A and B are shown apart, each in its own frame.
Chain A
Amino acid sequence: MTPARFIGKFFLGLMLFIILFPMFWTLLNAFKENVDILTRTPKLFFTPVVDNILYVLGRASVLEALVNSLIICSVSVMIGILFGLPAAYAVARYPNRWTEEVQFFVLSLRFLPPVAVTIPLMVIWLNLGLYDTRVAMIATYSLLTISITIWLAVPGFQQVPKVIEEAAQVDGYGPYAIFAKIALPIAMKTLLGAVAFSFVLIWNEFLMALMLTTSDAKTLPIVASEMSQLGLDVPWGILNAAVILLSLPPLLLLGLLSGFMNSMFTNKSR
């Protein structure tokens, strides 16, 4: 038994390596000059430079895209909260045939291939004169944020003990007050996780932004992907720096997201 356990643990350790090493290597490359990256034998030791990072941060297009990404993400996530949370509460607290259909409808939106929605949206935004604007991107992304918020928040509201809501009702709280003053604060931790997921989804989104923006409303993933087309040679150092910077916000939310995973699974099934 012991050798099997040892091999198993070694294998799991190897998995950690497969996850972390490519990212660690990307981080190293972000601080290398091109001469140190383009070597046949990969270099572990080198003189680090911050030129790549500074170059990426100093570009006007990056700053514009950062502003776009922040505005588009935060507004569409807010819209997702505004429309998604009440709907999720209604689905969680009034389970019947209709709300079940609603839940399936929301899920089925995820079945739609993104290209199938984006091609017609491009024509629509062109006709309305809104193509390549933040407004158009926010409206487009709201479809994603509202549906993912509903989908992830329903279990959060279901975990709120019904007894507490009934006690509040006895104390004279109306149904809307119960939602706002009882259910929301109690479910807050799970809901924050759901919102974080919806933020990461939009922050990372690439295909729709690629088709629906050309210059004014470009988001960060698009600008990062364009770094590979600077000049004749691929500037790998700069590209790696862009990858690191683009990955930072989702990584910062890692703790919140993992807490969400825990609360989703531990309470529900017991």
Chain B
Amino acid sequence: MTRRETLPYVFLVPTILVLMVLAFVPLGYAINISLQDKTLISPNSSYIWFENYIDLLSDRRFKNSLWISLKWELITVTATIIAALGLGVMMYELLTPRQRNFFCLVFLVPVILPRVCAAFVWKFAFHPLYGIVTYPYRLITGDTLDMLADPTMALYAVAFVDVWQWGFFFAVIFLKLLESLPPEPLEAARLDYVKTWQLHAYITLPLLKVPIISLALVKAIESLRSFDLVYIMTRGGPGITTETLDMYAFSQGFIEAGKISYASSMAVIMMVLTVVIFTFIWKKARI
């Protein structure tokens, strides 16, 4: 009896300790560094307390990157969920079980590709002179189209790659959710000659409301990892029109000035924002 009660402690305590060390030590350090004036070039540093944070408030590039990140979140989460619901319902209605298996296999491919690879594949496809995507445009208009160098289009072009990776994956999950629903209410509705779109709009989507919200949350969390795509495809350009928060923190800390403390203060703000927002939403969505 006593041995049974030791198991959860033996199994959990070491793991939680390791995770806490690996997570909280860097976070403590991040706050500590953000209060100094450390750079990568000089070894000396001193405490300047909240000066970095005060500077951030008047940094227009920082505000721009906050705005870009917010836009990125909205675009990618909305587009991914819409794609997932639409494709999930279509697969559910139109395909035989064997065809579904095949589609599920192929739909998993984009998400397991390294993001670096997905970025390169599409960067070359979007190439204004030699790209395969821009070829029809060149053929018809005789003009070139450089989406990644266009300030209004660049962010959407990069977001497209993100949705390409995640939308199909989520469509597979949504299909599995549809398949897991009890068949009786759906059959009853079909017997009443309910149209297919009505069936999904009024029965299946409301039934799956909670998992759909969780999916949107998971996507919002994963969308925070925009860096790989942006770094490979545009490096935040043209200008700063695709510079998300992590891209700006990286370029402040590593490329331009090596201002590691300034970058760190940005990282701390980012961390507080995301942890507070997501913890609040997650706890709320679960109740």
Binding site for B on A (CB under 8 A): 5, 8-9, 11-12, 15-16, 18-23, 25-26, 29, 37-42, 83-84, 86-87, 89-91, 93-94, 99, 102, 104-117, 119-124, 139-140, 142-143, 146-147, 150, 174-176, 179, 200, 203-204, 206-207, 210-211, 221, 224-225, 228, 236, 239-240, 243, 246-247, 250-251, 253-255, 257-258, 261-262, 264-266, 268-270
Binding site for A on B (CB under 8 A): 3-4, 7-8, 10-12, 14-16, 18-19, 22-23, 25-30, 32-33, 38, 87, 90-91, 93-95, 103-110, 112-117, 120-122, 124-125, 129-130, 132, 135, 138, 164, 168, 172-173, 176-177, 179-180, 221, 224-225, 227-228, 231-232, 245-246, 249-250, 253-254, 260, 263-264, 267-268, 270-271, 274-275, 278-279, 282
Q: In the complex, what's the smallest C-beta–C-beta distance from B136 to chain A, in angstroms?
A: 10
Q: In the complex, what's the smallest C-beta–C-beta distance from A112 to chain B, in angstroms?
A: 6
Q: Please determine whether B122 and A22 come into contact, CB atoms closer than 8 angstroms.
A: yes
A selection of 27 A-B contacts at a CB cut-off of 8 Å is A25-B132, A37-B130, A41-B135, A42-B130, A42-B132, A111-B221, A111-B274, A112-B274, A114-B246, A116-B271, A119-B264, A120-B29, A123-B33, A143-B19, A174-B4, A204-B113, A204-B116, A206-B114, A239-B120, A246-B117, A253-B112, A257-B108, A257-B112, A258-B105, A261-B173, A261-B176, A270-B180
Q: How far is the CA of A124 from the CA of B15 in the complex (A)?
A: 21
Summarize A's interface: helix, strand, loop or mixed.
helix
Chain A residue nearest to B283 in the complex (CB):
A104
Using Cβ atoms and an 8 Å threshold, which residues of chain B touch A179? 7, 11
Using Cβ atoms and an 8 Å threshold, which residues of chain B touch A225? 116, 120, 231-232
Most buried by A among B116, B224, B282: B116
Q: Please determine whether A40 and B130 come into contact, CB atoms closer than 8 angstroms.
A: yes
* A-B pairs, 5 with minimum CB distance: A269-B180, A120-B29, A265-B176, A116-B267, A86-B11
Q: Please determine whether B279 and A111 come into contact, CB atoms closer than 8 angstroms.
A: yes
Q: Given the interface contacts A38-B130, A204-B116, A258-B104, does A102 sit within 8 Å of B87 by beta carbon?
A: no
Summarize B's interface: helix, strand, loop or mixed.
helix
Q: How far is the CA of A89 from the CA of B129 in the complex (A)?
A: 55
Q: Please determine whether B227 and A207 come into contact, CB atoms closer than 8 angstroms.
A: yes
Chain A residue nearest to B229 in the complex (CB):
A206
Q: Please determine whether A243 and B121 come into contact, CB atoms closer than 8 angstroms.
A: yes
In addition to A146-B18, A206-B115, A254-B109, 15 A-B residue pairs with Cβ atoms within 8 Å of each other are A12-B90, A15-B87, A83-B15, A90-B11, A99-B8, A113-B224, A119-B264, A120-B27, A120-B29, A120-B32, A124-B25, A142-B22, A236-B130, A261-B108, A266-B180
